[in-house]
Amino acid sequence: MPDELDLLRGADPVPADGPHFGDGPLHHDAERRLNQLLHGRGPFGRRRRRLRWAWSLATVAAVAVTVTALLLAGPNTVPAVAAPRPLLVQAGSTPVPLTRMVEIADAAASSDGSPKLRKGTHVQTWSMGMSEDKPPITLPVERVVRWRADASHTELVVATDPRHPGRPVLSEGEDGMVEDGHVISEQTFGPSWSDAPPESPPPHDPGRLKAYLQEAQHQPTPLTTPELLDAVKVLLDHWTLGAREDAAVARLLADAEGLRPVGRVTDRLGRPGQAYVYDGRGSRLMVIMDPATGTVLGLENTASVAEPQWGLKKGDVVDYSAWVR
């Protein structure tokens, strides 16, 4: 079981060189790796096992479930939260090569007053939960993490779907639904430090950033394109990148094998973007980038084959993340 053992070792919540807080909570990276060990690995953390809904503040991914009557509030009621449809490329739009996006990002990084790197994130996610005996459901949440000067931080998780403002959304528990804007969790964490990626500051040199992402994924071999996209997701779930780091990410994506431009899209937060697609085994991965700055706006994972045992249809969005600057 070399893969499981590697994950277990990598998920050590009390490393020898780390701070010791007794029975304190796992840090984000350890919790993420433990979730990977327990629930399996796949593009963007896709779950294939029968699980219950669980809130993970480190990943904000709602995982697969045993759900009772979550979708129905009455005989004629439309589910409050349906799985989002895949983003559609605008007909007739001209694909922008990633090399051009690198030039745009480099120009943004060299301009006066360009954004600087800061720890913390603001992200909205849609994650599909699947089980063998219930239809898949999608739970949208918004997560805001803010770090303070003393290395403490706050984390707010809210149930909300910007596509349907004001409408109830699905949540765990017997009631099934909560109001839009319902606070799932609000916590403050004491000071903590780590020299290991993704907690340590990411470099803005493309070569060093590539090594940083590989270390963050605990991957001894060079990252494949799906693994690179997963690593970028992990990075953006920890950091709000500055313009120089955005340019380095754009360079890595331009060098990624099989990632091709497809044209213009409007993302789930209503922002214009350029889309880049990787067709993998059983999934279609899409990166959405800001055409004005080269910033990664979002990542989408769509099923390209049906899996009837999980109620998964071809074209279902398994996972989507949209980062807010």
User: For 147-201, how does the pLDDT look when each residue is reduced to its tens digit (9 = 90+)?
Assistant: 999 999 999 999 998 888 888 887 554 456 788 899 999 999 999 989 999 999 9
The mean pLDDT value for 127-138 works out to: 75
The pLDDT, as a whole number, for residue 40 is 43
Candidates 296, 161, 175, 177; CA nearest to 228 is 296
Residue 270 has which token pair?
A: 């209503």
Burial state string for 74-95 with b = 16 or more CB within 10 A and e = fewer than 16: eeeeeebbebbebbebeeeeeb
The pLDDT, as a whole number, for residue 139 is 82
The pLDDT, as a whole number, for residue 270 is 94
The mean pLDDT value for 55-66 works out to: 31
pTM: 0.76
Residues 6+ positions from 20 with CB-CB distance below 8 Å: 14
Tell me how far apart the alpha carbons of residues 30 and 19 are, in angstroms, rounded to a whole number.
13
The three-point CA angle 246-269-285 to 5° equals 60
pLDDT confidence bin for 317, thresholds 50/70/90: very high
Tell me how far apart the alpha carbons of residues 128 and 194 are, in angstroms, rounded to a whole number.
31
Burial state string for 159-177 with b = 16 or more CB within 10 A and e = fewer than 16: bbbeeeeeebbbbbeeebb
AA letter at 234:
V
